[in-house]
Amino acid sequence: NTGESATLAIFDASPYALSRPFAFENTLLYVSPDGALLKLDLSTGRSEAVPVDAAYVHDPQMNADGIAFLDSDHAKDGHILWYDGEKTVEVVTGAVDFSLGSGFIAYSRFDKNYVYFYADGTTFCTTRSDETAMLLAAGGDAIVWMDVTWRDKDIMEIMTVGE
């Protein structure tokens, strides 16, 4: 309320310092120096641990339905995991980054973009067969990517995704 800055955690040689925090509505989601996934309520200042079933948590993101995160520091053999408040589910292996939308997780894998609907576990490729793509963002019901098939052109595309 006063506009002052506050330090949430001090990382001293912790590998979790590389994990990005994520803000959603009135909540800040971050990984503590000891590796615990924490939710901080910005209106009350209360923090609570999130009991995800994973040995390592990196770059968590959340929406009204749950939390998605990586189990590695963007490793090619790492996984994207989804926690719905009760259980942790593996979404995919080999995707090095992702973005969370409403009802889905968008990710890139082997130069193609995919959308995973966590409600029913279905996945589909949003990239045309002759296209090479790099995911830029997702949010609400849209994904945005760069068509990098031709490196001499800047082609950004957007797609509305429905369940």
Q: Which tens digits make up the pLDDT trace of 94-109?
A: 998 899 999 999 999 9
**pLDDT 10s digits, 106-159:** 999 999 999 999 999 999 999 999 999 999 999 999 999 999 998 788 899 999
The pairing of beta strand 104-109 with beta strand 112-117: antiparallel
Please give the pLDDT value at position 118.
95
Whether the predicted pLDDT of 161 surpasses 80: yes
Please give the pLDDT value at position 38.
96
41 close to 32: Cβ distance less than 8 angstroms: no
Region 37-43: mean pLDDT is 93
Q: How confident is the model at residue 45 (pLDDT cuts 50, 70, 90)?
A: confident
**Distance in angstroms (rounded) separating the CA atoms of residues 56 and 58:** 7
Q: How confident is the model at residue 5 (pLDDT cuts 50, 70, 90)?
A: confident
| Mean pLDDT rounded to a whole number for the chain | 92
Please give the pLDDT value at position 1.
66
42 close to 26: Cβ distance less than 8 angstroms: yes
Please give the pLDDT value at position 91.
97
72 close to 125: Cβ distance less than 8 angstroms: no
**Distance in angstroms (rounded) separating the CA atoms of residues 37 and 84:** 14
Region 29-39: mean pLDDT is 94
Q: How confident is the model at residue 67 (pLDDT cuts 50, 70, 90)?
A: very high
Q: Vertex 55, ends 47 and 91: CA angle to 5°?
A: 95
* pTM for the predicted model, two decimal places: 0.90
**Distance in angstroms (rounded) separating the CA atoms of residues 56 and 14:** 12
Whether the predicted pLDDT of 9 surpasses 90: no
Whether the predicted pLDDT of 163 surpasses 70: no
Which pair of tokens denotes residue 105?
A: 């997780």
